[in-house]
Amino acid sequence: MFDLTYMILIGAIALVSWLVSSRLKSKFEYYSKVSLRNGMSGAEIAEKMLHDHGIFDVKVISTPGRLTDHYNPMDKTVNLSEAVYNQRNAAAAAVAAHEVGHAVQHAQAYSWLTMRSKMVPVVNISSSMSQWLIMGGLVLGLASKSPIGFYVAVAGLILMAIATSFSFITLPVEYDASNRALAWLKNKNMVSQQEYAGAEDSLKWAARTYVVAALGALASLLYWAFQILGSRD
Instruction: Return d(Cα 226, Cα 93) in angstroms, integer.
Output: 45
| CB 110 within 8 Å of CB 176 | yes
Q: Which residues contact 118 (CB under 8 A, 6 or more apart)?
A: none
Instruction: Return d(Cα 148, Cα 144) in angstroms, integer.
Output: 9
Sign of CA dihedral 35, 38, 40, 44: negative
Catalytic-labelled residue, pool 44, 47, 99, 174: 99
Nearest Cα to Cα of residue 55 among 111, 121, 104, 105: 104
Q: Does residue 44 have an active-site annotation? A: no
| CB 126 within 8 Å of CB 163 | yes
Helix (H) or strand (E) holding 32: none
List the catalytic residues: 99
